[in-house]
Amino acid sequence: MFYTILDFPKGSIFLAKSGKGLSSAEFMKSRRDLGRVTKFFRERDIPLVEDRVKFQLEERLFRQYFEGREVDFKALSLDRLTGTAFQRKVWLETRKIPYGKTETYKSLARRLHHRGYRSIGQALSRNPLLIVIPCHRVLSSDGGLGGFSAGLELKKYLLDLERGKA
DNA sequence: TACATAAGAATAG
DNA sequence: CTATTCTTATGTA
């Protein structure tokens, strides 16, 4: 498993990938959070090797994204090693939300023929691929932001970015 | 409008 | 089984 760290205006983002594709993209307020995000791998005795070269494509996409340009992360291949069947369904659906558009927990639920609105949010909160799976584009049905595991400020920042307001 | 409460589905402990 | 969660709908003032 390889990893690298990207910096952006609000903090850093930890990327990990296997030979198959990207498996994790976690937000870090600072590099001191590295211990937290690597815990998952250490617990499973999965060796982590820093290797920037393997992330050329990702680096470019993220850089463009933070410049405020429209980026389609669907080009990336993913290797999801966490998540239940339900969570994967939610993430897949979330991934279809196009740049700059937003959905609500409710509309997602309807698309999945599902009424457990909170479960949707819960599944999103376990999203291991921040930004690549745009969980920040999912809002409350009253227009509010809803929650965000990496911090609401970040959610707001990402939304502003996509609205061309950052 | 604002706040409390119930209903609802899935998951972690 | 219980508690918790990135929700929503309803009731009450």
The domain segmentation of chain A, as residue ranges, is 2-75, 85-162
Q: What's the CA–C1' distance between A117 and B2, in Å?
A: 22
Distance, angstroms, CA A99 to C1' B3?
Answer: 35
| 3-state DSSP assignment of residue A66 | helix
User: Does A89 contact strand B, using a CB cutoff of 7 Å?
Assistant: no
Q: What is the pLDDT of residues A95-123, one digit of tens each?
A: 999 999 999 999 999 999 999 999 999 99
Give catalytic residues of A, as residue numbers: 135
Do the Cβ atoms of A13 and A130 come closer than 8 Å?
yes
This prediction has a pTM of 0.92
| CATH topology (fold) of A85-162 | Arc Repressor Mutant, subunit A (1.10.10)
Check: CATH 3.30.160.70 for A2-75?
Answer: yes
By residue count, chain A amounts to: 166
Closest CA to A130 of A13, A17, A30, A32: A13
Contact A140, A104 (CB under 8 A): yes
The nucleotides of chain B lying under 7 Å from a protein CB are: 7-12
The answer to whether the beta carbon of residue A117 comes closer than 7 angstroms to any atom of strand B is: yes
For A66, the token pair is 């933070």
Residue range A54-80, pLDDT digits in tens: 999 999 999 999 999 999 999 898 998
Distance, CA of A158 to CA of A166 (rounded, Å):
8
